[in-house]
């Protein structure tokens, strides 16, 4: 039977790791993800799990070791944040192109500079094109639930890609919330055992991992990798439905909050979705038809599904917690507006950048954004299509 508890997001992910009992965890500490390997190593020291913990000298080494152990046939994970993920950059591409279904607990933190240790999505969004599946959490419960679903998605034969389970640094990683924890046996059954078809330590069946690829093969390998990412959409839905049926929680690519009759919708990821939902509740009480779509899965990007969910509204605010320096919006804005265009969904869009390096995102800010959307539609107000919100006056 499930039990109620209080945990931080880092504790919740570490607890899920204990329940899964993976084979290997190489890791190097970096704020704010340090607690995850620290807690896992404590579980190991106490004899609660059999995971082999490998202390390494850097995050680059952590991902290198993770690739090696996964290639050897071991279920593997690591954890990092910010410049730790940046130091893994080369290895992230190798993990994905070698089709290693390992998991990474990413605690989102801004990348320098200026130097800062607080939350935004510049680390995860910077790695968006490395070939990894990316799933984001609003709260501690979702961080726990998402990690339990990570291996069934990544290890599916139709996919075989690495996966990042992301949560906002300090906001969820260190804040304590009420959480529902499932029984160890139920989690173990849901995740299952890992039985790779090909691995380095398989006697009598040699296999090469990461060989040099000539031009006449490399492009086909990339195509197969892209097809696997496309297949991941189907698998993510299947795993999410199975999880909801068994545990009663969760959703697939995104959560729709009071969007059924909404004229104005905000699309947002991560912990700030809770702030947006509160603002929606307040504005609904005033008779405003507003709603929120909280994006859970950024890779593979659910462009068609989002376009279908937005087609009946009048305007959408697209919220990025990072900067692409492309002069017209962040990664979410770029991908969603392209998806709307391809689906021929002709609605007003305004792209907002918020919350960089831990800047507070206030309920009042959401009020202002929805009021601006209404002004655009009803009064023809001209607004910049790439706007910063929350700047100091």
Q: Minimal CA–CA distance to 269: which of 244, 242, 306?
A: 306
Check if 3-247 and 254-388 are the same fold: yes
The model's pLDDT over 105-120, given as tens digits with 9 standing for 90+, comes to 999 999 998 999 999 9
CA distance 283 to 251: 24
Angle between helices 363-379 and 272-285 (to 10 degrees): 60
The model's pLDDT over 226-255, given as tens digits with 9 standing for 90+, comes to 999 999 999 999 999 999 999 999 999 999
CA distance 169 to 240: 24
**From 3.30.1360.170, 2.70.98.60, 3.40.50.2300, 3.40.50.970, which CATH number describes the 3-247 domain?**
3.40.50.970
**From 3.40.50.920, 3.30.930.10, 3.30.470.10, 3.10.20.600, which CATH number describes the 254-388 domain?**
3.40.50.920
CA distance 322 to 351: 12
The model's pLDDT over 180-223, given as tens digits with 9 standing for 90+, comes to 999 999 999 999 999 999 999 898 898 989 989 999 999 999 99
CB 353 within 8 A of CB 326: no
Rounded to 10 degrees, what is the CA torsion of 312, 317, 320, 325? 110
**pLDDT score at 24:** 98
Count CB-CB contacts under 10 A for residue 194: 18
The model's pLDDT over 60-87, given as tens digits with 9 standing for 90+, comes to 999 999 999 999 999 999 999 999 999 9
**Reported pTM:** 0.97
The model's pLDDT over 270-311, given as tens digits with 9 standing for 90+, comes to 999 999 999 999 999 999 999 999 999 999 999 999 999 999
Quick one: tokens of 182?
């499932």
Share of the chain above pLDDT 90, in %: 96
Q: Is the pLDDT of residue 385 over 90?
A: no
Supply the DSSP symbol for 33: T
CB 337 within 8 A of CB 318: yes
**pLDDT score at 247:** 98
CA of residue 104 relative to chain centroid, distance: 10
**pLDDT score at 113:** 86
CA of residue 1 relative to chain centroid, distance: 28
**pLDDT score at 203:** 87
Burial of residue 245 (number of CB atoms within 10 Å: 0-12, 13-18, 19+):
exposed
**pLDDT score at 393:** 81
Q: Minimal CA–CA distance to 132: which of 164, 90, 155, 108?
A: 164
**pLDDT score at 152:** 98
**pLDDT score at 1:** 83
Q: Any idea where the domains of the chain sit in the sequence?
A: 3-247, 254-388
Report how far apart the first and last C-alpha atoms of the chain are (Å, whole number): 52
17-36 mean pLDDT: 98
Mean pLDDT of the chain: 97
Query: DSSP letters of 110-144?
Result: PPSSS---S--SHHHHHTTTSS-EEEE-SSHHHHH
CA distance 153 to 133: 9
Q: 115: which residues sit within 8 A by CB, 6+ positions away?
A: none
**At 381, is the pLDDT very low, low, confident or very high (cuts 50, 70, 90)?**
very high
Q: Is the pLDDT of residue 264 over 90?
A: yes
136-163 mean pLDDT: 98
143-171 mean pLDDT: 98
């Amino acid at each position: 039977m499930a039990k109620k508890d209080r945990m931080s997001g880092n504790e919740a992910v570490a607890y899920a790791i204990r329940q899964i009992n993976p084979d290997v965890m190489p890791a190097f500490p970096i704020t704010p993800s340090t607690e995850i390997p620290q807690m896992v190593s404590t579980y190991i020291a106490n004899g609660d799990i059999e995971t082999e913990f490998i202390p390494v000298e850097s995050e680059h080494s952590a991902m290198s070791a993770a690739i090696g152990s996964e290639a050897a046939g071991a279920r593997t994970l690591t954890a990092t944040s910010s410049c730790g993920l940046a130091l893994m950059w080369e290895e992230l591409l190798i993990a994905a192109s070698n089709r290693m279904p390992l998991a990474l607990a990413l605690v989102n933190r801004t990348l320098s500079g200026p130097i800062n240790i607080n939350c935004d999505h510049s680390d995860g969004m910077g790695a968006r094109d490395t070939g990894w599946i990316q799933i984001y959490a609003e709260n501690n419960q979702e961080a726990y639930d998402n990690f339990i679903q990570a291996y069934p998605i990544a290890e599916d034969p139709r996919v075989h890609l690495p996966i990042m389970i992301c949560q906002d640094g300090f906001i969820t990683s260190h804040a304590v919330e009420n959480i529902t924890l499932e029984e160890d046996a139920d989690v173990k059954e849901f995740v299952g055992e890992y039985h790779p078809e090909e691995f380095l330590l398989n006697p009598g069946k040699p296999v090469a991992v990461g060989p040099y690829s000539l031009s006449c093969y490399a492009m086909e390998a990339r195509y197969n990798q892209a097809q696997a990412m496309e297949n991941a959409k189907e698998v993510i839905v299947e795993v999410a439905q199975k999880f909801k049926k068994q545990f009663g929680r969760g959703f697939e690519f995104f959560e729709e909050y009071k969007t059924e009759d909404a004229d104005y919708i905000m699309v947002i990821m991560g912990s700030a979705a809770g702030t947006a939902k509160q603002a929606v509740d307040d504005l609904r009480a005033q008779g405003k038809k507003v709603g929120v779509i909280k994006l859970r899965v950024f890779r593979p990007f659910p462009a068609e599904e989002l376009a279908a969910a937005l087609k009946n509204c009048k305007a959408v605010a697209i919220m990025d917690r990072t900067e692409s320096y492309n002069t017209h919006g962040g990664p979410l804005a770029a991908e969603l507006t392209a998806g709307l265009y391809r689906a021929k969904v002709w609605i007003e869009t305004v792209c907002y950048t918020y919350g960089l390096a831990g800047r507070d995102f206030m309920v009042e800010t959401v009020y202002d954004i929805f009021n601006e959307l209404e002004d655009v539609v009803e009064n023809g107000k001209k607004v910049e299509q790439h706007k910063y919100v929350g700047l100091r006056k």
